[in-house]
Structure 1
Amino acid sequence: MEEAKNSSRVKVHSILSVVSSNPIQPGKVHKLSLLDQSMGLHTLHIVFYYNSNPFNDGPMPSDIDNLRASLSHLLDKYPIATGRLTRGGPEGHWQVKCNDAGVRMLEASVSATLDEWLRSADVLEERGLTAWEDMPHDPSFWSPFRIQINNFKCGGLAIGLSCTHMHADITSATLLMKSWTQVHCNLPLTHSPIFHLPQPPTPSLKNSTPSFSPSKMGTATMKFSHSVIHKRLSLVQNHCPNATPFDVLVALLWSRIALWQEPEPDKNHNRSLSICVDSRNHGRPPIPYSYFGNALHFSVLSMDGDKLIRGGLGQVCEYVHQHIEGLKRDDFCLEVEGEGPFRVYGPRLTFINTEHMVDVENGEGVMYDAVFDKGEKPVHVSYHVGNVVGEGLIMVLPSSEGGLGRTVTVTLPEEQIANLCKDQAILDLEPIMLISGKK
């Protein structure tokens, strides 16, 4: 795991613990699944940006007491967030001892306006908005969930959420934040968390993760507009009439990155990548959308290297789409490659699909439903996975614009990030560059 240091523009003023409003039943233990265990080397860091402070008028500090109170009530429903990691069982697997130890909440100020920050901050600075400390050898007093309230000098606000990937995946962490806003506004929860499945699927673990040489990684975040994605989808209609924004962006980025990748194709001249899709609402029985934990499915997609680079966007898009549709027709079990914990993201180029988080009617992402007082929606939500190495990770996420707009966060070796940011095929899509820079 990595430890991100606060930039000089981010100053933490207070640190406190928030516990659930009702005592947790003594002796309660939550056993992490095999898939949860495999995520032990990774962390999640999410930042919700708001143009104006939804709790106060003007550029004043947040009403931390009200936030603390609503978070305390939320934690009644999330006992594993307030607990502490411990080893248990004959094999010594990680589990959560549910107690009233609480989560850490920090308050900080940022000596920049929100617009200045989004234009100039790099990924290391942004990690300063999400408090984190690496897990110590003895985690019995260590908080696996941390929340940081960041006040910009323009009156804007950013709420940073960090947690271990063993506890939650992107969907779970996002729904936790949305649930907090609903508790804060005295609204019923849209998705009350479920921690146990009636018939939990048994993951099939197979060690086929490629070897890699550590290299310096860089990150860039690009916003692609609804109109640009709509145009690209129309261009691939003949090959793939039901293509999604994820399909077309994977096809574009994969084919461009293949031009610069150091690893040679295999003996069959194939290039491969890993696709991560969410298993919720799939499988037998279906995994509920409100399941809190890791519900991910990783699969490997291989394609002839020449066809990938020279076959055209439509052909590659069709190949990606058919692969994902084929997964949906199969028994969609929770599956990972390897024995954990290990680096799930990055040894092989990995794309994360979040199309399941998009409302099919208006195209808005569930993360933009995180609305506190005054109806203020986030203007941007940033996602990062800690400890990504190797060939890299690309997350295709809903954009604040809604519709077909997508935000793409790319983590690649530094030289490839430089190539990507000046690649004409990418620039033709007129992306808006946001948080970027070295990891």
Structure 2
Amino acid sequence: MSIPNNSRVAVHSKLTVVSSTPTEPGQAFPLSALDHAMGRHTLHIIFYYRSEQAGRIQFEPIRRSLSELLSLYPTVTGRLGRDGEGNWEVKCTDAGVRVLRAKVATTFDEWLRSADGEEEKDLAVWEDMPDDPCIWSPFRIQMNEFEGGGVAIALSCAHMLADPTFATLLIKSWTDAQRGEPIGHPPFIYPPALRSRPTSNATTKATAYYASKAKLEEPPPLNMATTTFNFSSSAIKRELSKIHAHCPEASPFDLLTALFWSRIHQTMAPKNDPKRSLSICTDFRKRLHAPLPYGYFGNTMLFSRLTLGAEELDGGDLGLVVRSVHSHTAGLEEEEFWSTINWFHSIKDEKGKFAPPFAMYGPELTCVDMEHLIAPSGPSGGAVEPLMYMAMFEKDVKPEHVSYLVGNVGGEGLILVMPSPEGGLARRVAVTLPEEQMVKLRENRAILSLEPTLILSRGR
């Protein structure tokens, strides 16, 4: 996606940053079954630093720290290629990361007030992977400078290579290096960690769901709008107390997923099907018997389906929906994760090539749980904080906002429930819906009763 001529974002320079220590030649890392499954999508994360902070974030120093950091990330500076079976692998060529610099023709605060989710895309690099990606940089960074100060630093990548956790920690590690501190969550590059297991069941609820997704026709494209709702810790605490009798163990994710699912359902056109389904995306790094480090290179997300009757969503008793969401996510077992990997291996062709990817974010409404990113800030424990808001190029200079955007999201839409810089129970919920539905959602009384502030939500 090229930046339109009338955009307030103008790219003025491009360069390639390579690692300060050359990568050992000849290395190649195969992508896992779950990585291949994400081939339809791209991932984009934008870190916002406001004006009084931005004067301390100078390009040349952070370029040097990025070069030093990349010595630890040979899969980030490499290029995609095919192995002997026709599957994707990262060839560690040390070709570097593309970095773009841009100017934004407005102030930091005015951007957050006046931009919408569509215009926000101009702050990141959106490029389709070419047929032959041997010289194409799958990781790209765009540094955007606002008038009067303030910067937005965006990381873009092919979703095959990274999920939100790894991509978040790549930027956080960059900031650790910039401050001259140890890397809190170093990369863990070990492809065999997610190989198929011969003893794993390939006929679970998860595999049945993936098999059904693979058969779905892609819906026609719609004009989509994105709004981020910011909920305070006090508001979430108040709402959790109201549904405590139904689900005393409910988390902010359970509450907000139930709230937005039920309210989005009300904005949809009537359907003949009395059932309503929600796809829930859960990171499994720390839910495995042998947990993977946060810095695991690749994708560790499981998509599962929760189905309720339309009358249950319309019934007005939010606590019952919260309980259903909580029971579903708490009941996910490790076997579902491994069976999914086995299923993707089972549908390879006769030459051992993975089947073509299909839409993972959609076509049904999809909700992503990002609660796991509230985690210890370093390998030795320490404070439990939102990892994305620990990405500080200078001490105590935290991002004011972090946006997560996914490419090629269609169908019914996407909900991301994310930590907030406020900490505690506070959360930010980024919602992408067809434009007409978004207008109704922004006016929903049940959501507005929690007194959210809206970020990057101007309608067009």
| Common topology (TM > 0.5) | yes
CA-CA distance at 1:334 after TM superposition: 7.3
Q: 1:329 to 1:335 in 2, by over 3 A?
A: closer
For residue 234 of structure 2, what is the aligned residue in structure 1? 227
For residue 142 of structure 2, what is the aligned residue in structure 1? 148
Matched, 1:333 2:338: yes
Name which of 238, 250, 258 aligns with 2:245: 238
For residue 84 of structure 1, what is the aligned residue in structure 2? 79
SS in 1 for 2:172: helix
Q: Tell me the TM-score normalised to structure 1 length.
A: 0.92
Q: Is the 8 A contact 2:125 2:156 kept in 1?
A: yes
Identity percentage over the alignment? 51
Work out the CA distance in 2 between the residues paired with 1:241 and 1:121.
39
Work out the CA distance in 2 between the residues paired with 1:22 and 1:367.
27
For residue 186 of structure 2, what is the aligned residue in structure 1? 192
For residue 14 of structure 2, what is the aligned residue in structure 1? 15
Any idea what the Cα deviations from partners look like across 1:71-93, whole Å, max 9, x if unmatched? 01111111111111112222x11
Q: Is the 8 A contact 2:55 2:150 kept in 1?
A: no
Q: 1:42 to 1:334 in 2, by over 3 A?
A: farther
Q: Figure out how many residues of one structure are paired with residues of the other and give that number.
A: 431
CA-CA distance at 1:115 after TM superposition: 0.9
Work out the CA distance in 2 between the residues paired with 1:331 and 1:283.
11
Q: What letter is aligned with 1:325? A: A
Matched, 1:37 2:42: no
Any idea what the Cα deviations from partners look like across 1:324-380, whole Å, max 9, x if unmatched? 110157564373898541111020110000111114897741100001124210011
Work out the CA distance in 2 between the residues paired with 1:265 and 1:399.
38
Any idea what the Cα deviations from partners look like across 1:127-173, whole Å, max 9, x if unmatched? 11112322122211111111111111221111111111001000010
Q: Is the 8 A contact 1:283 1:333 kept in 2?
A: no
Matched, 1:281 2:286: yes
SS in 1 for 2:288: coil
Q: 1:168 to 1:403 in 2, by over 3 A?
A: same
Q: What letter is aligned with 2:99? A: M
Name which of 97, 113, 126 aligns with 2:107: 113
Q: Is the 8 A contact 1:124 1:437 kept in 2?
A: no
Q: What letter is aligned with 1:171? A: T
Name which of 64, 68, 78 aligns with 1:73: 68
Q: What letter is aligned with 2:261? A: W
Name which of 222, 246, 252 aligns with 2:259: 252
Name which of 300, 305, 308 aligns with 2:305: 300
Q: 1:142 to 1:329 in 2, by over 3 A?
A: closer
Matched, 1:28 2:27: yes
CA-CA distance at 1:403 after TM superposition: 1.1
SS in 2 for 1:394: strand
Work out the CA distance in 2 between the residues paired with 1:322 and 1:6.
49
Q: Tell me the TM-score normalised to structure 2 length.
A: 0.88
Q: 1:5 to 1:173 in 2, by over 3 A?
A: farther
Higher helix share: 2
Q: Is the 8 A contact 2:267 2:441 kept in 1?
A: no
Work out the CA distance in 1 between the residues paired with 2:78 and 2:238.
48
Q: What letter is aligned with 2:114? A: S
Matched, 1:405 2:426: yes
CA-CA distance at 1:181 after TM superposition: 0.4
For residue 160 of structure 2, what is the aligned residue in structure 1? 166
Q: 1:328 to 1:366 in 2, by over 3 A?
A: farther
Work out the CA distance in 2 between the residues paired with 1:182 and 1:334.
36
CA-CA distance at 1:438 after TM superposition: 7.1
Q: 1:200 to 1:353 in 2, by over 3 A?
A: same
The equivalences for 1:287-366 within 5 A come to: 287-328=292-333, 332-333=337-338, 335=340, 340-359=356-375, 364-366=385-387
Q: 1:188 to 1:180 in 2, by over 3 A?
A: same
Any idea what the Cα deviations from partners look like across 1:368-409, whole Å, max 9, x if unmatched? 000112421001111110110001110000111111111111
Any idea what the Cα deviations from partners look like across 1:245-281, whole Å, max 9, x if unmatched? 1100111111111122237253xx2211100000011
Matched, 1:93 2:97: no
Q: What letter is aligned with 1:314? A: G
SS in 2 for 1:111: strand
Work out the CA distance in 2 between the residues paired with 1:334 and 1:163.
27
Name which of 271, 274, 283 aligns with 2:276: 271
Work out the CA distance in 1 between the residues paired with 2:114 and 2:340.
39
Q: Is the 8 A contact 1:284 1:331 kept in 2?
A: no
Q: What letter is aligned with 1:75? A: L
Work out the CA distance in 2 between the residues paired with 1:107 and 1:320.
42
Q: Is the 8 A contact 1:55 1:373 kept in 2?
A: no
Work out the CA distance in 1 between the residues paired with 2:6 and 2:372.
34
Q: Cα RMSD over matched residues?
A: 2.3
Q: Is the 8 A contact 2:32 2:191 kept in 1?
A: no
